[in-house]
Structure formats: C-alpha cells, structure tokens
Amino acid sequence: MTDTISKNGSISRITFPRSDGSPNRQPNPSRAIKLRECKANENSELVDPHMWKWYKAIGEALARALKWPNVEPNACILSSFPKYYTLYKQARGCSEDCFLFGSINCRPFRSPNEFIEHAIWLFTDPTMTKTNCRCRGCTHNPQRNITNDLKRRGIFWTDSLLRVKKQTSGPTACAPQRTQSLVEIESSDSSPSTSQENQPRNDLKVMLQPQLEPYGAAQRTVALEVAPLSRNCQFRIGDLIDVILEHPIESPDLKVSICAWPAIVLNVIPALLVYSKSFEMSSTAFTGSDDCDIVVQILGFDEFALAVSQENVLPYHPVFHTNHPPCTLSFELAKEVNHVAAHATSFSIKFEVATALHTRAVQLAVKVASKWSILNQSQAETFDNGSKTLIRASSIWLGGEEIQVGDVVKVAFPSGVVDELTKSVTQSSSTTPGPSRPGPDGLFARIYGFDVILHSPADSEETRISSGEQGLEDAAELRVSAAFYKLEPMGDASRDHRCMDGDLKNINLPPAPAGFTFYPLHDPDLEVVFRGDQCITGRYHPALLERILPGRCLSEELWKVWEVAGLKMGAGVRRKFYGDSQGKLGGGGRGWF
C-alpha cells in the first residue's frame, strides 16, 4: 500500500504498480491531427476538467474495489495514469470526447467506466495475464453489463450518490432541496404570461440565512468552473424533470393513465467533476459520457431516489400531468424493468392510490415550477438613495430549471411584441438579414446576463431582512439581456451560408435540428432586455429531438413533446418532418397528425 498510495493532506493519491502500456500504442499521425493531449500544468495541477474526471473516477473506484484500510474512497485520486498511457480529447460539436491510449491489450478506452476493470487488473494481477482482466477491451463484453456489475459490487465510483439524506416527515418531506437562494420570488401562475394585462403578482421573500448545498454539503466559498451541458446529457442537478413510465399506470376502464412522474435531478452518473486548483473542493456537475444514468428523487415518496437512463427522462411539463394524460405517449425504453413501475407494482398500488400519490407529486412540482430565484450572483449595488438594489446574477432557477448565462432558451411573445422587437433591433443594425416574417413560434434567445432589481419603497434593505417583512407587489423584477434567433427551415442558400459561416461562427449556439438553422433577428453583439420571468418557457434541449423523432409515432400529442424540447413551432416546420396535411410521410411512413 505504501508504494501505491501517498497522502497529501486529506487527499490520497494512487500510483499504478505496473503497466501494460507501450510508447508505440499512441494515435497514428492521421488521427493525431484531430486530438489534443490532456495535460497537467507545470505545477502538476489538474487544470483540464477531463483529466480531473478520469483521475477522480478511477481513483475512487480502485479504493472501493481494493478496500485499502484507513483510506476514504471519496478522497482518492490518481497521481498519474499507468506508464505510457496518455489521455487525449477530440472536439465533437459542442462537446469533447476523450480517449485513453497506451494499452497493448486493448483499443483506446473511451470513458473512465471502460477503464475501471482494467485498472483493477493492473493492481491485482502481477502476472499480467490478459484473461484475468474483466474490462470491455479484454473480454469484449457489453459495457452496460460491466457497469451494472460494478454497481452491484459497490465499486462504481458514484455509488454513494444513492444514499439520500433522511428527510423529516410532514407535508414538506419531499420538497426538493436546492442550492443557495439569495432572493426567492413566487408567482401566482407557473406559466409565463404572454399578455401585458395578465402579469403575475410577485411576492418577494429574502432569505435570512444562506441555505446549504443540497443534502448537507458545505456552502461553496471559492469560484468553481462548471462544465457546459453536453449533447449526451441535457439536464442539470436540481432540474425538475418528468420520468417516463415504461408501463403507464392505467385506470380500470383504461380511459385514464399516468404516463410520467415528476422528479428532481440529484446527480448524473458518471458525472464530470467540477474542479478547482485545490483538490479539497470538488462537486459533481454534468457528464460528457455516452453511457450515463441520472439519479433522481421521485416526488411524492419519502426517501425514494433511483437511477434512470436519460432515455426515460424529459423536461418537466404540465401537459404530462393533466386530468387525462395521453395514453399513447410512450417510448421504447431499455429492456430493464423501470424502477418506478416496479416500485408501484411490488407494493400492489391500485390506480386510485397511485392517483393520490401522483397528485401530491404534481402539487410539489407545480410549487417548484412556479418560483424563480437567484442561484449565483456576481455583484450587487444600491442606487437611487437606497430605494433600489441591483443584483447581477450568473445563473437562476426559473420554472424548474437552472438557466445560466450563455444558455439558449425558448421564449414566448405575442406577435405584436415580436414585430416591435424586430423593428427596433433591426433599426440598430442592418448587417445580418433576419427571417422574412418572424412570428411567435420558433423564437429563441441566447442569455447574456440577468439583472434583478429589488425595490425598497420605505425601509432600507437591512431593516426588511431583519424583520422578515415580505416585499410589496412588483417588489422585484427579473430583467434578462439576450440576443434573439429564429429557428427556420434552411432554404435561402446565401442566407444560410452567412448564418453558418459568418455571423454565427463565434456565437457557439447549440446544434439546430437537421434541416433547420438559427437565423439572428439582429446583430448578436446587440443586447435586448426583457422580463424573463414572464417570457422564458425553458431551456433549449437539442438532443431530445434526435432521440424521439426517428421511427416514433406519438399521436397528436407529439407537438407538445416538441414544446417540451424547446421547439414550439408552426405548422410549416412540422410539415417538413411529418409530411403534408394528410399525414403522409416520405417513403410511405405513417403520419403523426
């Protein structure tokens, strides 16, 4: 143990005792052009998030598998890869794939999960007999089976995530825990208002004490870098989601069924670790792996957390929880028994009981979705003789989702507002041609910043906080600065070329669906300010469409799934995918409408 583990404060660094690596097992020249090596800096600090993820995942898994005495798995990390092993990354769209080269026995490893069994073999087999290794490269077994076996044996490096903190009983027992909220505003209507006449009333509630991180983690005191969403995982920790049931819970007359259950994302497996220069600080964020599960807290149940495949998950939307859920809304899920359905069946829950539990879960979900709050603020200042306070935020909770600066969101405006918006911004810039006739559908915004304005009509902010007095009507405003884009079918070759190769080249927008592109409504360098709590309908989820479109017939409710995915579009766009108004698809397929 002394040769393989060294202590650095509370951190245990693990060194491989042997290696099957070779300097000849590096990328060939043609492939090396597309790859970049992941390196530590000159002080041996892990400044590359991919390298940190691999080091932490493999180190923790080794500690769990080998059960070293007086070693805490959560505090373990590799000191280096085996000799002659090198980690490379390759850009793919808006994400990056990683490959670990060097083994003479295996092809490059594509994720930490693929390498865990190989790492265990390097530690436990001095003879280096290949047949004793249980990794995918040495056995050619499916990686999903290997990952499931790691979970069963308690070796999987995020296994501790399933140990959810016990919550107190009572009506708020299942209320989701979220990150520090500095200002929390609750609206009377969870749906964004598109009318100036029906604006929701906002009640201001300033937190007296900062809340802790979810499930007891200490409040962060240093700035951590967080990886962006990848194409493979479209959800963030704390997001309100819907878990699609593999087998809907149906009423005795088969007229009503429960097809989705609201839940909160607790974590992602395997997760890309947030990293800092100090190894003492780490927190789990998102994943770029092709093989990942999402750990969720099922609302309505006490202490019920489970891991589901991301194919079972959609962003939360009230359409899934109406009095008559769409019975035809189903997906071809993995062959494993869905844990939600299995839980209900094992306890012989009849439809009436399931309905009561589902109603409670929906009530909790509506409570979450009807709030917006500041998650991380960058600065705050008071002006106008103390009557107003401006808080600038880098991320917020809005409608059940975390929205960060740089995200692309779906926005809903009345047609007149869109026309006025386009007219005002195009007068400032004529360099970028916009769509011929922008409408309320297919309108998106890329977030540049959040400004929260707090009004203090009489007392100072300190007095109101100490007294716990709630704010008055319109005591807080959420103003969002953004650039607007229209999602339209590609048609005009010259305009498409300018959008893809010119004006949008450095915008780093997520990919549009096949056959479509984002057209800027104005110069993206110009910012447009609007009321975010009344207009933003959710984050844009590009990967969901790729998953649900091919070969799926989801009846007339499909357009609502499009809206869930952030693509509430007009009939012209739908016809491009689904055929003409008679429902005929290209190639003789069956229509969805």
The per-residue pLDDT for range 4-32, each reduced to its tens digit, is: 777 766 678 899 999 999 999 998 887 88
Output the CA–CA distances (angstroms, integers) from residue 56 to 43, 113, 194, 196, 539, in the order listed: 18, 12, 46, 51, 30
d(CA 146, CA 111): 13
d(CA 391, CA 178): 20
DSSP strand pairing (11-14 vs 76-78): parallel
Fill in the DSSP letter of residue 576: H
Question: How does pLDDT run across 455-470, given as a tens digit for each residue?
Answer: 665 444 443 333 333 3
d(CA 259, CA 554): 13
Contact (CB, 8 A) for 326 and 555: yes
Question: How does pLDDT run across 83-120, given as a tens digit for each residue?
Answer: 999 999 888 765 678 899 999 999 999 989 899 999 99
Tell which wins on pLDDT, 588 or 401.
Answer: 401
Position 348 pLDDT exceeds 80: no
Q: Is the dihedral of CA 486, 488, 493, 499 positive or negative?
A: positive
Local structure of 29: helix, strand or coil: helix
Beta-carbon count within 10 A of 24 CB:
8
Question: How does pLDDT run across 411-424, given as a tens digit for each residue?
Answer: 876 656 666 665 55
Question: Per DSSP, what are the bridge partners of residue 376?
Answer: 395
Burial annotation 497-532 (CB, 10 A radius, 16+ → b, else e): ebbeeebbeeeebbebbeebbbbbbbbbebebebeb
**Nearest CA-CA partner of 485 in 545, 539, 419, 435:** 435
d(CA 192, CA 284): 31
Beta-carbon count within 10 A of 367 CB:
16
Amino acid type, 237: I
Question: Per DSSP, what are the bridge partners of residue 87?
Answer: 100
Question: How does pLDDT run across 178-203, given as a tens digit for each residue?
Answer: 333 333 333 333 333 333 333 333 32
Alpha helices in 41-95, H assignment, sequence order: 49-66
Which pLDDT value is given to residue 18?
94
Average pLDDT over residues 162-169: 31
Per-range mean pLDDT, top range of 73-87, 325-339, 385-399: 73-87
Three-point CA angle 369, 370, 373, nearest 5°: 90
Contact (CB, 8 A) for 272 and 286: yes
C-alpha 452: how far from its chain's center?
Answer: 24
Mean pLDDT of the chain: 64
Structure tokens at 167: 């919550």
Amino acid type, 428: S
**End-to-end CA distance of the chain, in Å?**
65
Local structure of 478: helix, strand or coil: strand
Where do the domains of the chain lie?
A: 5-157, 219-369, 372-544
Q: What is the CA radius of gyration of the chain?
A: 26
Residue 270: cis peptide before it, omega within 30 degrees of 0: yes
d(CA 250, CA 256): 6
d(CA 191, CA 87): 46
Position 561 pLDDT exceeds 70: no
Question: How does pLDDT run across 380-436, given as a tens digit for each residue?
Answer: 666 656 667 788 888 888 878 888 888 888 887 665 666 666 555 455 444 444 444
Beta-carbon count within 10 A of 184 CB:
18
Structure tokens at 95: 């994400």
* Residues whose CB falls within 8 Å of the CB of residue 510, separated by 6 or more in sequence, listed in order: 94, 231, 408, 540, 542
**pLDDT confidence tier of residue 129, bands split at 50, 70 and 90:** very high
